[in-house]
Structure 1
């Protein structure tokens, strides 16, 4: 019985001593999940207007967007994604545009030769290829052309994974 109480006490003390993510201003600890940056894609028109913003005429709603892969038998597998709203990390670091984000696609990408597909409404089908190292997207090719990163001031690992798709 004493061993059981000692083990229970140790578990209780360890759970109190562990800082949780974003609580009390602390960072990650052994108890917190490790979250790698997702693929983030900003979609703009030739006038540099955000086409994921609902206030933009002709914007793309989530229901109009398809992100998927095909297996060897051409069976389509949908890939989870979200539309992230503009937000601020700090007062000096703001992201002023909507982004299509997918945490699933970096895990599915085995090599840069693997192709994923992005369909925006009735527009053309885009082929996406990702170079992923340690679950972080290092390079994004859209229709075999390297996608530029969205220019943003500040330094943050999330900002380094925001790419831009410009459609006409």
Structure 2
């Protein structure tokens, strides 16, 4: 099941309309519709807020093949198709694609500020990120909890 379907399923289980969810999230109804249709993805901080409002875990919303129904998924803790528990669908989609990362104010990832980078690998709480610094390709590990949002870029580095 895709992220959009997960959001729609959880919203319907809470007996909320797209309009009501949009008001709670402080976004437009069209934004919720785009999320549910899979045309757009919510930013990371919005995923956390969605999970709170819909009373599901972030993994419930992000991981394919895991039902949002707590009776079925045990709160989203089941692994689907042998995937590691902490791997989210969003990170899997971002792998090897150009992205821009935004960090929380207290994060110290200033080398990556405003740069297009590529997440080449991730495991548990860390992501391996490559970015261009001058003519060199730099590589560093980034703590996933320091990332506020992730934006997919159209072009390369």
TM-score, normalised to structure 1's length? 0.24
- Larger RCO (CA under 8 A, 6+ residues apart): 1
Larger strand percent: 1
Larger helix percent: 2
